[in-house]
């Protein structure tokens, strides 16, 4: 499964837009790009998933360029409660059973 | 509705003992996954089930680890002869099917091996 690279940590302030970019140079044709959020002492929570171009839901947007070698999670107007670890994952195709390979994640700290 | 539940929430055991960790997935979810998260680390895939069969056991660290799923529902992860390096949070997730879709995670079982 493709390896992902993302910043270890990021700082932001309330009300700002936060963009977290993930590199996945070896992404395969059948791979999807998925982002999860994890708060301390909790299991990860699904944020968004995409295959190409742009996906938007009520929580975030996911931008995927044509070559799919990277992706950017965009969180609009973050609040203190968005402080968490964000994981970028590549994979999940049927042939791999949907298993997720987590990297170290990006620890986002939102300050007042 | 009810989410994924895991029991126990915490387990402290002595080195060399066997432990069983339980996962109750969301009703109707055919796929079930086990992950492990060591302190300050990301999640490590262990095994996944599609129904009662386990097509991918590649993440199990050693033959001391085993898992089963019965009735397409409850799953048990068993660790035999526990070692201190087994200490971690064991997370279970389920999804409607195995593939590119949302996995719903349980709260995890924190295992401490003394």
Q: B90-112, pLDDT tens digit by residue?
A: 999 999 877 777 889 999 999 99
DSSP character string of A60-99: -EEEE-TT-SEEEEEESS--GGG-EEEEEEEE--GGGTT-
Q: B32-69, pLDDT tens digit by residue?
A: 999 999 987 788 889 989 889 888 788 899 999 999 99
Q: Would you identify the CATH topology of the domain A9-111?
A: Immunoglobulin-like (2.60.40)
Query: Looking at the predicted structure, is the pLDDT value of residue A100 above 60?
Result: yes
Burial A21-49 (b: 16+ CB within 10 A, else e): ebbbeebeeebbbbbbbbeeeebbebbbb
Q: What is the structure's pLDDT at B50?
A: 87
Cβ–Cβ gap B101/A98 under 8 Å: yes
Nearest Cα to Cα of residue A90 among A9, A37, A30: A30
Res. B10 pLDDT band, cuts 50 70 90: very high
Which domains can be identified in chain B, with CATH numbers? 5-113 (2.60.40.10)
Chain A touched by B63 (CB under 8 Å): no
Residues of chain A positioned with their CB less than 8 A from the CB of B91 = 43-44
Nearest Cα to Cα of residue B30 among A98, A81, A101: A98
Furthest CA-CA distance within chain A: 44
For B48, the closest of A45, A51, A99 (CB atoms) is A99
Cβ–Cβ gap A43/B42 under 8 Å: no
Residue A108 CA to residue A111 CA, distance in Å, equals 10
């Amino acid at each position: 499964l493709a390896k992902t690279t993302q910043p270890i940590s990021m700082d932001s302030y309330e009300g700002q837009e936060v963009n977290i970019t993930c590199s996945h140079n070896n992404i395969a044709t059948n791979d999807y790009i998925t982002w999860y959020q994890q708060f301390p002492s909790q299991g990860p929570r699904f944020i968004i998933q995409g295959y190409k171009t742009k996906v938007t839901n009520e929580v975030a947007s996911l931008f995927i360029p044509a070559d799919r070698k990277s992706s950017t999670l965009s969180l609009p107007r973050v609040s203190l409660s968005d402080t968490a670890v964000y994981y970028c994952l590549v994979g999940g195709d049927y042939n791999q059973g949907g298993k997720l390979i987590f990297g170290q994640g990006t620890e986002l700290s939102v300050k007042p | 509705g009810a989410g994924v539940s895991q029991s126990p929430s915490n387990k402290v055991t002595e080195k060399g003992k066997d432990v069983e960790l339980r996962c109750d997935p969301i009703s109707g979810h055919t796929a079930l996954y086990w992950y492990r998260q060591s302190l300050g680390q990301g999640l490590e895939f262990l095994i996944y089930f599609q129904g009662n069969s386990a097509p991918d056991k590649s993440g199990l660290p050693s033959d001391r680890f085993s898992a089963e799923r019965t009735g397409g529902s409850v799953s048990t992860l068993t660790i035999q002869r526990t070692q201190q390096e087994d200490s971690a949070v064991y997370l279970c997730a389920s999804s409607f099917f195995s593939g590119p879709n949302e996995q719903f995670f349980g709260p995890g079982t924190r295992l401490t091996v003394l």
